[in-house]
Amino acid sequence: QTSILPRVEVHTSTPTSNKLQTSVPLPTEIQTFDLSSKKTYIPATSPPSDTDIINILLLGETSVGKSTFINAFANYVTYNTLKQDQTSQPIVLIPVSFLITVGDNFDERSVKFGDVDDHIYLILMIMIEKTLCIIDTPGFGDTRGIQQDDRNIEHILEYVNNLIHSNTICFLLQPNVSKLNIFFRSCLTQLFSLLDQNALNNIIFCFTNSRSTFYTSGDTAPLFKKMLTSLSIGNVPFKKENTFCFDSESFRYLVALQNGILFNDDEKHEYEMSWSTSVTQSNRLIDYICKNITIYRIDNKLQSMKHVQFEIIPMIESMLETMRNILRNLILCKMNSFKASIELYPKVLDHSMTICLLYKGKVVKIGNFLITYNMPHKIEKNCRICQCSYNQHRSIGYILEYEYLNKSSIYNQN
């Protein structure tokens, strides 16, 4: 059997005195693969059974800190205390960069490891009896616009489509957000269209940077619960037992030390306590997945159908409007208006917008035709324009503009 997983780098850990005093097994080897390329083939010498592999799909908004979380998690499950990790080089599996302020004047220092990208990474934490497979994904709500968001969700869905089974879907969140990114909703709707109701019981929630909220889910939990309810995807368990609160700042502190940045004793104590809490949460997370979550078998036939549907739906509106405009120009031709035509000009949006399925829109006159123009809507909790809920809206990546020209269209010429 052959695995299509290109190797990027391999980190090997051989712990001795650093071994955790816990029921959770310590990883004996940690491997990182970049799934953005499929040119390198790695032979699988003895492929493990499905029950030996724990697949964790990690999802979150852009800049929530997924890569930092994975790097921190690898250190938490390897080293029991921060002092143990300080004696060796920290484990950095995925390229990360961040700014840190130091000194009395809050001077900014940049810390960077590798070239940061939006690839899908797969992390294998090989333990004695299990292999923990964490799938890092591009973030929702990409700052480069809705087109990049579409590409990101397409990459995620393609990878999910190739999985044989899934153990859990992990949402990584900040605990103190005041509103959720609107495109987060759209991406979740598309993702859960590939899965059935059984997958909902395999969802867990991880909160990063939760030291500021005393290691609780903060203001984010009620917002996220309300959003899940509005999506009408079913009952998603959101309880203390499947919620885990971490603080990745202690990992950043460790990396900053390696870059020669100094901290005072009070800061060191805070980060040591943060590390200890995050280690406890990491062990609880692995223990919960191993004992409480059953394997969810992915229906590849259903996924293939949904994947085709995902490809076709965005094309329908543009195809219909193109057909309507061809008919308009044919009518102009029959009216002996050989020197007149209507042309379409799509204007790409640089941020996520929607159109309301109930809102009638604005009627504009283009030549001899009345055309309904769909105004793009921006949604926070409800739409600012029509006050309808999110469920009554459809995401768009462009708007159409019409122009009446004093020249024949290509259809009239033919």
Lowest mean pLDDT among 63-77, 257-271, 297-311, 316-330: 297-311
For 171, 194, 214, 261, 262, the CA distances from 159, given in Å and listed in that order, are 17, 12, 35, 39, 42
Q: What pLDDT is attached to residue 12?
A: 36
Domains in the chain, start-ordered, CATH in brackets? 2-298 (3.40.50.300), 315-413 (no CATH)
Q: Residue 147, class by beta-carbon neighbours within 10 Å (0-12 exposed, 13-18 middle, 19+ buried)?
A: middle
Q: What pLDDT is attached to residue 283?
A: 92
Helices (H), 140-264: 146-162, 182-192, 220-230, 249-258
Q: Which residue has the higher pLDDT, 240 or 194?
A: 240
Lowest mean pLDDT among 33-42, 188-197, 221-230, 250-259: 33-42
CB atoms within 10 A of CB 30: 20
Q: Identify the CA nearest to 168 among candidates 71, 298, 32.
A: 298
- State CA 293 to chain mean position distance: 22
Q: What pLDDT is attached to residue 137?
A: 82
Instruction: Provide the CB-side half-sphere exposure for 46 (13 A, CA).
Output: 2
pLDDT tens across 285-311, in order?
999 998 888 887 766 666 667 667 767
pLDDT tens across 309-361, in order?
767 877 888 899 999 999 999 898 888 766 788 999 988 877 667 788 777 77
Q: Which residue has the higher pLDDT, 76 or 358?
A: 76
Q: What pLDDT is attached to residue 104?
A: 72
Whether the predicted pLDDT of 273 surpasses 80: yes
Lowest mean pLDDT among 37-41, 78-82, 284-288: 37-41
**What value does the mean pLDDT take over residues 106-131?**
67
pLDDT tens across 349-397, in order?
776 677 887 777 788 899 889 998 877 776 655 666 676 766 677 777 7
Rounded Cα gap, residues 129 and 125, in angstroms:
11
Whether the predicted pLDDT of 2 surpasses 50: no
Q: Identify the CA nearest to 203 among candidates 166, 169, 157.
A: 169
Whether the predicted pLDDT of 124 surpasses 80: no
Residues 31, 6 contacting (CB under 8 angstroms): no
Q: What pLDDT is attached to residue 114?
A: 56
Per DSSP, the three-state class of 62 is coil
Q: Identify the CA nearest to 175 among candidates 123, 249, 122, 267.
A: 249
Q: How confident is the model at residue 281 (pLDDT cuts 50, 70, 90)?
A: very high
Q: What pLDDT is attached to residue 240?
A: 94
Q: Partners of 398 in the beta sheet? A: 348
Give, rounded to a whole angstrom, the gap between the first and last alpha carbons of the chain. Answer: 55
Total residue count of the chain as it appears in this document: 414
- State CA 44 to chain mean position distance: 28
Q: What pLDDT is attached to residue 17?
A: 35
Q: What pLDDT is attached to residue 170?
A: 93
Whether the predicted pLDDT of 154 surpasses 80: no
Reduce the secondary structure of 262-325 to three states and give it as a string. Answer: CCCHHHHHHHHHHHHHHHHHHHHHHHHHHHHCCCEECCHHHHHHHHHHHHHHHHHHHHHHHHHH
Q: How confident is the model at residue 208 (pLDDT cuts 50, 70, 90)?
A: very high
Q: Percent of the chain at pLDDT above 70? A: 72
Whether the predicted pLDDT of 19 surpasses 60: no
DSSP code for 382? S
Mean pLDDT score across all residues of the chain: 76
Q: How confident is the model at residue 93 (pLDDT cuts 50, 70, 90)?
A: confident
